[in-house]
Structure 1
Amino acid sequence: MKEDFLHYIWQHQYFSKTALATTCGEPLEVLRTGFYNTDAGSDFREAILRVGEVEWSGSVEVHLRASDWHRHNHQHDPKYDQVVLHVVWQADVPVLRTDGTMVPVLVLQNRVDLRLLQTYEQLQNSKNAIPCAPFWPSVPEITKVLMLERALVERLEEKGGEVLQVYRSYGNDWEQAAYQALLRGFGFKINQQPFEQLAKSLPFHVVRKHQHNLPQLEALLLGQAGFLADAKDEYAQQLQREYTFLQHKYKLEPLPRHHWNFLRMRPANFPTVRLAQLAGLLHQHPSLFTKILEKDTMKKYEQLFQAAVSGYWQKHYMFGREKKALAKGMGKSSAQNLVVNVAVPILAAYASHSGDRAYLDKAISLLEQLKEESNKYTRLYEELGWRAKSAADNQAALGLYKRYCHPVNCMRCAVGNKIMKNSPAL
């Protein structure tokens, strides 16, 4: 058993109230359970209880054993002096506040129907990738739909939070945050790590100074990525000369070339081509963050990420290696990938920062317009009869799996809650 089970039991009051009393024998009446707290501090805040003849307002702390109070050093933390009830499965020791006063204790061990505990343990001990798989068909469709919608919003807020962290770390600079999100997206999983290293080693304030000059941008990006060190053809040597000057000016340390992956990739996806596309995008859209906020159709977002590359890269996929059929810019599917992994998190971040839900709604709308892609996460739910219909569903399934199913966090999931509520004990 984990504490989340007791959180669930207390929050929903799924225990016997007959002759309810503390371990000291004082009559107990729950007037308000309190609000569940996911941050630091007590588990439930603003609870109202009547212990004996006195009405108390404060926090409720939940542990499996009363001795966990000491194990977590609450007896030395003044924040826990406001706890008016300690809810436990077993009361093995008395607990005291910092001033030495005793905290009232409620034991739930003999007040919870064992059938409810058995349902919980069946979920917790499940060998299925989706713990509730045996129960899934019995859960109403509306419950599953609403939970997936919640998982989608939580995932977007999490992704937006990563962008916000960069924004705050760099002096509240949205363009810097957009730059790092863009480079991370340009990695397309296979080269995500070196692109992230590139973003850190090539500061945006340097890039910003040269966005008006495409050759200088190419020199900075390709040189910093380590692709100009052994320049042989004339264009590469031209960029190398430019990069050498800029490298000394800004004291740049290039990445090792071997960090980049080329294996099992089509030439159009080579990191050299991606860097040329990135240079074209940064050159054409010096205020990328602003453009992401302003666009209002999927087509405009796709066009935003399909900026044309320079003439050299329309014919080459590596220095000195030509290919006649290369596109002038990024393909539609790759641009849509950047909509999902760059534009959507930025919109979610700004929605959180500004408090304007419209930007989050725009992010969700973009995902709903993009075709679904079956992956190992969506297939887990497809096996249970659910099918993704858009990229929004893909993100919802990923959020549900990573936040709830994989860590077996069933008590915080609406589907798990419904299964518990349908337990014979209730």
Structure 2
Amino acid sequence: MKEDFLHYIWQHQYFDKTALVTTAGEGLQVLRTGFYNTDAGPDFQEALLKVGEVEWSGSVEVHLNASDWHRHQHQRDLKYDQVVLHVVWEADVPVLYSDGTPVPVLSLQGRVDLSLVNTYQKLQQAMNAIPCAAFWPSVPAITKTLMLERALVERLEAKGEEVLHSFRSYSNDWEQTAYHTLLRGFGFKTNQQGFEQLAKALPLSVVRRHQHNPLQLEALLYGQAGFLEEPEDTYGALLQKEHGFLQHKYTLQPMPRHRWKFLRMRPANFPTVRLAQLAAMLYRQQAFFSKLLEADTVEQYEALFRVPVSEYWQQHYHFGRPAKARQKSIGKGSVQNLVVNVAVPLLAAYRLYTDERVYIEKAVSLLEQLREGSNKITRFYQELGWQARSAADNQAALGLYKKYCAPVNCMRCAIGHKIMKQNSSAT
């Protein structure tokens, strides 16, 4: 058993309240359970209880064992002096406030219906990737739909918070934040770390000064990425010369070439090609963040990323190795990936920053209009009969799995809550 089960029991009051008393024998009446606290401090705040003949307003702390109070050093933390009730499974020892007076304790052992305990244990001990797989068919479709919608919003908010963290570290510069997010997205999965390092090695302040010049952009990107140390043809030598001048001018430190991964990749996904695509995009989409906010349709967002590469890279995958001429603008799947992992998080972050719902609505609308292939995680749910119809569905499933299913956080999930109610006689 984990504390989340007792949080669930207390929050929903799923225990026998007949002749309810504290461990000290005082009568206890719950007038208000309090609000679950996800930050530091007691678990439930603004609770209202009647202990004996006195009404108390304050916090409720929940532990498996009463001794956890002392193990967590709550008796030394003044925040816990506002606790009016300590809810535990087993009251193994008395607990004290910081001044040495006893804390009222309620033991739930023997007051919780065994059917609730058994259902909880089945979820916790399930061997499936989705803990509630055995119960999934019995859960109403509306419950699953609403929970997936909630998981999608939570995932977008979490992504938005990550971007906001970058925004603050970049002195509240949205274009710089968008640049960092863009480069991170261009790494996709295999070369994400390489592109993140490149974003640090090549500041946007330098890019801005040369964004009007495609040759200088390529020189900066390939030079800072470590690909120009030993030129393999005349074009590479030209870029090296240009980079050498700019490197000296801005005191730039290139990253090592070995950071880039080529193994088991199709040539169209090589980092050398991605850098060419990035250079073309930075040239054509100056003031990228402003354009991202102005776009309205899926087509407009996709157009931000779909740009043709320079003539040299239409005929190469590597420096010095000519290949059959081919237009190497970003493919449809990659463009959609960038919309999902660059445009959508930036919109979510801007919604949190401005508190204007239009930006999160725009982000959700984008995801609903994009068709995204299945992945390992979405297939877990597909095996249970659920089908993803859009990128929004995929992102919802990812959010549900990572926040609730993988950590077996069933007591905070509406689906888990419904299963507990359906399979327990006490509720």
Whether these two folds match at TM > 0.5 is yes
Amino acid at match of 1:361: E
SS state at 1:118 partner: helix
In structure 1, what is the Cα distance between the partners aligned to 2:383 and 2:361? 29
Look up the match of 2:258.
Answer: 258
Aligned residue-pair number: 426
CA distance in 2, matches of 1:232, 1:194: 22
- Cα offset, 1:328, TM superposition: 5.3
Q: TM-score, normalised by structure 2?
A: 0.97
Counterparts of 2:266 and 2:111 in 1: how far apart (Å)?
63
> Does structure 1 residue 293 correspond to structure 2 residue 293?
yes
Letter in 2 for 1:42: P
Equivalent position of 1:157 in the other structure: 157
1:105, CA displacement in angstroms? 0.6
Q: Which amino acid aligns with 2:298?
A: M
8 Å CA contact retained: 2:225, 2:256: yes
**Among the aligned pairs, what percent are the same residue?**
72
Query: Conserved in 1, the CA contact under 8 Å of 2:302 and 2:336?
Result: yes
1:85-124 to structure 2, matched below 5 A, reads 85-124=85-124
Which residue is 2:406 aligned to?
406
Give the AA of the match of 1:113: D
1:68-101 C-alpha deviation (Å, 9 max, x unpaired): 1111111111111111110000111221222222
Q: Does 1:233 align with 2:233?
A: yes
Tell me if structure 2 keeps the 8 A contact 1:364–1:392.
yes
Q: 1:199: Cα distance to partner?
A: 1.3
Which whole-Å deviations, capped at 9, do the CAs of 1:87-123 have from their partners, x for residues lacking one? 0001112212222222111110111011110110010
For 2:383 and 2:267, locate their aligned partners in 1 and report how far apart those are by CA, in whole Å.
36
Q: Matches of residues 16-415 of structure 1 in structure 2 within 5 Å?
A: 16-327=16-327, 329-415=329-415
CA distance in 2, matches of 1:347, 1:360: 6
* 8 A contact 2:268–2:328 mirrored in 1: no
The residue type paired with residue 420 of structure 2 is M
Task: Give the SS at the match of 1:103.
Answer: coil
1:127-174, CA deviations, whole angstroms, 9 ceiling, x for partnerless residues?
Answer: 111111111111101000111111111111111111111001111111
Question: Once the two structures are superposed, what CA deviation does each residue of 1:285-331 show, in whole Å capped at 9, x if it has no partner?
Answer: 22111111110001111111012322222222222222344215222
Superimposed CA distance per residue, residues 202-247 of structure 1 (whole angstroms, 9 cap, x where no aligned partner): 2222222222222111111101111111113222111111111222
Distance 1:398 1:382 in 2: 13
Deviation at 1:425, TM superposition (A): 2.4
| Matched residue SS, 2:50 | strand
Amino acid at match of 1:352: L
Is residue 268–residue 326 contact of structure 1 (8 Å, CA) maintained in 2? no
> Residues of 2 paired with 1:151 and 1:263: CA distance?
35
Secondary structure, aligned partner of 2:166:
helix
Q: For residues 254-299 of structure 1, give each alpha carbon's deviation from its aligned partner in whole angstroms, at most 9, with x where no partner exists.
A: 2222221222333222211110111111122221111111100011
In structure 1, the partner of 2:416 is: 416
Q: Distance in 1 between matches of 2:310 and 2:219?
A: 12
Q: Is the 8 A contact 1:61 1:83 kept in 2?
A: yes
SS in 2 for 1:153: helix
Q: Which amino acid aligns with 1:124?
A: Q
- AA partner of residue 234 (structure 2): E
Q: Which runs of 5+ in 2 are unaligned?
A: none
- 2: CA distance, partners of 1:267 / 1:419: 48
Relative to structure 1, the CA distance from residue 328 to residue 113 in structure 2 (aligned partners, 3 Å threshold; closer, same or farther) is: closer
Greater CA deviation, 6-15 or 399-408? 399-408
Question: Helix, strand or coil: the match of 1:404?
Answer: helix
Could you tell me how far 1:176 is from its partner in structure 2?
Answer: 1.3
Instruction: Describe the shift of the 1:326–1:265 C-alpha distance in structure 2 as closer, same or farther (beyond 3 A).
Output: farther
* TM-score, normalised with respect to structure 1: 0.97
C-alpha contact (below 8 Å) 2:216/2:243 kept by paired residues:
yes
Which letter maps to 2:353? H
Segments of structure 1 that go 5 or more residues without pairing to the other structure are: none
Match of 1:13 in 2: 13
Quote the Cα distance in structure 2 between the aligned partners of 1:325 and 1:386. Answer: 43
Letter in 1 for 2:10: W
Amino acid at match of 1:348: A
Query: Does the aligned pair in 1 maintain the 2:131–2:405 contact within 8 Å?
Result: yes
Equivalent position SS for 2:215: helix
* SS of aligned partner of 2:45: strand
Farther-moved stretch of structure 1 (105-114 vs 258-267):
258-267
Q: 2-side partners of 1:209 and 1:57: how far apart?
A: 61
In structure 1, the residue corresponding to 2:389 is in which secondary structure?
Answer: coil
CA RMSD of aligned residues (A): 1.2
Structure 1 residue ranges (4+ consecutive) displaced by more than 3 angstroms after TM superposition: none
Work out the CA distance in 2 between the residues paired with 1:57 and 1:206.
Answer: 58
Q: Distance in 2 between matches of 1:31 and 1:163?
A: 41
Separation in structure 2 between the aligned mates of residue 158 and residue 199 of structure 1, nearest angstrom: 22
